[in-house]
Structure 1
Amino acid sequence: MTWGSGGFGVDDGSPQLLRFEVLGPLRAWRGGTPLELGPVKRQAVLAALLLRQGAVVSHERLLDAVWGEEPPAGGHKVLPTHVNSLRRALDPEGTPPAESVIRSGKGWYRFVVEEVRLDTADLDERGAEALRTVASGDLATAADQLSAAIGLFRGEPLAGLPGPFARSERQRLEEHRRTFRLERLKCLVPLGRFGDALDDLSGLSAASAADRYDESLTALRMRALYGRGRQAEALTTYDDLRKRLRDELGTDPGEELRRVHEAVLHQDDAFLLRPSPSVLSAPRESAVPAELPHDTPGFAGRTGELARLHALLSPAREGEAANTVVISAIGGAAGIGKTALAVHWAHQVRDRFPDGQLYINLHGFDHDRQPLEPG
């Protein structure tokens, strides 16, 4: 399968592979065949299952994700109708429910993502590669890579889909796009591509009311204007933000923006046309710990326990903290397979923890050594 800047390309031998695009209106293909996903509520159900990365989703949580505080009458009867229609659309003809891409149990559904390709995966890969290139100092290559990542968006993510979950995911994906656009701007200015930078800055400023107070955007705009020989406009840009901050927020510009202002006043080319401090200080890629032991070959059973563990990773409801830490313990007698279960599940979800995975053997039941001390 290939992937171009406009979306998925031609399938190259995986006729059963499911592919989804969410960086725009929700779309799906099996192999090279586009799939009909039905009305927007049904698509919202699909998105709320698909984007949870294989986690078990209870009926109540799914209803909240799509309908929020206004669930439909007989909601628990509405969900099977949507899910059965999605199965007919997504599964090869004749697939039994037990082998469907959407699995179910008592009170829950789960989307099987192992044989699915999402455009967000390509966004993550391209974005991470671009940020590594930024950190290396190769700004020209990084700008091109960031353009390619931004080009994967086909408009508003999950465009037109209703419900709290789609709204939250839309905001999350838009933040990714904004991050990549800002990083590209930080490359364009020191590369002397001032016109491109000003065009992008105009689009960013129009996208969010909060950007009216963003000092980093103002600093980039001033540097780009100065680079185009528009010193007076750069100074006016600073004065406009300074007055807005003072009148509306009761504060003054920060040190970085004041330094840019001084440099424009004194025509300090060496400062204004070099990489911005945030680019120069971009963190280098650090080693990612991957300490999980090998998975147990032929692991079978424990489906209920695995479902409960997957449920712990379900995204927070709207309004809950997104960075909530969940700590869970697996209990039982020695030798019944607690470690095997934990390690097997950890391998299934390791992609959800890109910063690394740690493993400590506490030696609680070893015959040849004492258990580890708490310290």
Structure 2
Amino acid sequence: MRDSHGSRPGSHSGVRFELLGPLRALRDGVAIPLGPPKQRAVLAVLLLQESRPMSYDGLVEAVWGGSPPVHVRNLVQKYVSGLRRALGDGPGLEWTGNGYRLNGADIDDLRERRRLIDEAMAARDAGDLRRAGELVASAEELWRGEFAEGLQTPYLAAERLRWAEKRLTVLEARLAGEIDLGRSFEYVHELVRLVAAHPLRERLVELLMLALYRTGRGVDALMAYEELRQRLAEALGADPGPALRSLHARILRQDPGLMAPSPVPVG
């Protein structure tokens, strides 16, 4: 059950941690002050280890990269102490002899997202595209911004890129499901916006072409292909991939198999 702030209680120690956006730690729905950005970054990195110890050198590399400040050891000790005070009787942050380990802490919004995506995949495999779309939409609602937004460290920057890709892949799957349900018209504008934001992403153009074709805009679908072909040639010296070329050919010959099923009634 969600609390009055829209969040579920944390599964360990009464503290809920969230990383699908700016890092948050909530106790009884109230945000815990987590200190300066680098201290918050130490917490985010340790949370991502999922209770595995992280060596001192590994933590320094993750937070500061290859050029840490001269007094980095003092900083690590300061931030660890600060986090222990902030978390109080909640999750335990300890030195194991092999590294720092954060016990009794989950990334709760990430765990919930994984559950929703797993349920969506099961619903899709069972042929329930409507339910799959609803579950993916619920997973998308958990995002409050970029992954670990605002924390600038080498490790978290790489994680942010990885999660941006995962998020976009899930979004593509949801849009494909909506189009298969006969909802092409409702999603054309969203796909146009996404293609503008990710102009070299072929899957998005493929979905846009299909949505345009199924709404009677075959010429616009062919133009979307040609525009991508030109962008790829200029940026990469490459042609569109096999899936996109195949769709282009099918649109040119007006393949009846491209037509959508009857639209699903809303509500």
Normalising TM by the smaller chain, what interval?
0.7 to 0.9
Q: Deviations over 1:305-335 (max 9, x none)?
A: xxxxxxxxxxxxxxxxxxxxxxxxxxxxxxx
The normalised TM-score by structure 2 is 0.87
**RMSD (CA atoms):** 2.4
Aligned to 2:264: none
One-letter code aligned to 2:49: R
Worse overlay, 36-45 or 65-74: 65-74
Equivalent runs, 1:125-164 vs 2, <5 Å: 125-164=115-154
Worse overlay, 259-268 or 242-251: 242-251
Match of 1:205 among 183, 190, 195: 195
Aligned to 1:270: 257
Aligned to 1:190: 180
Q: 1:159 aligns to what SS in structure 2?
A: coil
Deviation, structure 1 residue 242: 2.5
**Cα distance in 2 between the residues matched to 1:213 and 1:38:** 39
Equivalent runs, 1:315-334 vs 2, <5 Å: none
- Confirm or deny that 1:221 pairs with 2:212: no
Q: Deviations over 1:164-185 (max 9, x none)?
A: 1111221222222112101001
Q: What residue ranges of structure 1 are gaps of 5+ in the alignment? A: 275-375
Worse overlay, 70-79 or 81-90: 70-79
Equivalent runs, 1:238-277 vs 2, <5 Å: 238-273=225-260
Equivalent runs, 1:1-375 vs 2, <5 Å: 2-3=1-2, 7-9=6-8, 11=9, 16-92=13-89, 101-106=92-97, 108-113=99-104, 116=106, 118-208=108-198, 212-273=199-260
| Moved beyond 6 Å, runs of 4+ | none
Retained in 2: the 8 A contact 1:264–1:272? no
**Cα distance in 2 between the residues matched to 1:34 and 1:255:** 49
Deviation, structure 1 residue 65: 0.8
One-letter code aligned to 2:102: F
Q: Aligned pair in 2 of structure 1 residues 101, 199: CA closer, same or farther (>3 Å)? A: farther
Worse overlay, 31-40 or 262-271: 262-271
Q: Aligned pair in 2 of structure 1 residues 77, 7: CA closer, same or farther (>3 Å)? A: same
**Cα distance in 2 between the residues matched to 1:61 and 1:165:** 10
Retained in 2: the 8 A contact 1:215–1:257? yes
Q: Aligned pair in 2 of structure 1 residues 116, 219: CA closer, same or farther (>3 Å)? A: closer
Retained in 1: the 8 A contact 2:210–2:221? yes
The normalised TM-score by structure 1 is 0.64
One-letter code aligned to 2:154: P
Retained in 2: the 8 A contact 1:223–1:273? no
For the pair shown, the structure with the greater C-alpha radius of gyration is 1
Q: Aligned pair in 2 of structure 1 residues 195, 91: CA closer, same or farther (>3 Å)? A: farther
Deviation, structure 1 residue 247: 4.7
Q: Deviations over 1:158-204 (max 9, x none)?
A: 11001111112212222221121010011011212123432332343
Deviation, structure 1 residue 250: 3.9
Deviation, structure 1 residue 62: 0.7
Aligned pairs, how many?
260
Deviation, structure 1 residue 229: 2.1
Amino-acid identity (%):
37
Aligned to 1:304: none
Q: 2:148 aligns to what SS in structure 1?
A: coil
**Cα distance in 2 between the residues matched to 1:253 and 1:107:** 49
**Cα distance in 2 between the residues matched to 1:242 and 1:162:** 35
Retained in 2: the 8 A contact 1:50–1:111? yes
Q: 1:184 aligns to what SS in structure 2?
A: helix
Deviation, structure 1 residue 272: 4.0
Retained in 2: the 8 A contact 1:41–1:66? yes
**Cα distance in 2 between the residues matched to 1:206 and 1:166:** 26
Q: Deviations over 1:211-250 (max 9, x none)?
A: x333322221111111222221111111222333345444
One-letter code aligned to 1:138: D
One-letter code aligned to 2:137: S
**Cα distance in 1 between the residues matched to 2:146 and 2:44:** 15
One-letter code aligned to 1:61: G
